[in-house]
Amino acid sequence: MAEGGVSIRATDIRKRFGHLEALRGASLEIREGEILALVGDNGAGKSTLAKIICGAVTPDQGELSFWGETVV
């Protein structure tokens, strides 16, 4: 992949835990060589998004891809 290509792409990720809507359409692109920080208020869904990217949690809806290959 060329320098600067998209390594991780999350599109319209949604996750619910019972009645709690943890993520409501989160999208993110991380490019090769890029350093990124997830910041936000408590309960904003940062940890949930990180767990989805790591594979520990499955999203209810949306698409996750690594180097152009869809995994979820």
Q: Rounded to whole angstroms, what are the CA distances from 23 to 20, 27, 32, 47, 61?
A: 9, 10, 25, 10, 10
- pTM summary value: 0.88
**28 near 8, Cβ under 8 Å?**
yes
Q: Kindly state the tokens that stand for 48.
A: 């949930």
- Residue 7's pLDDT is what? 96
pLDDT digits (tens, 9 = 90+) for 8-64: 999 999 999 999 999 999 999 999 999 999 999 999 999 999 999 999 999 999 999
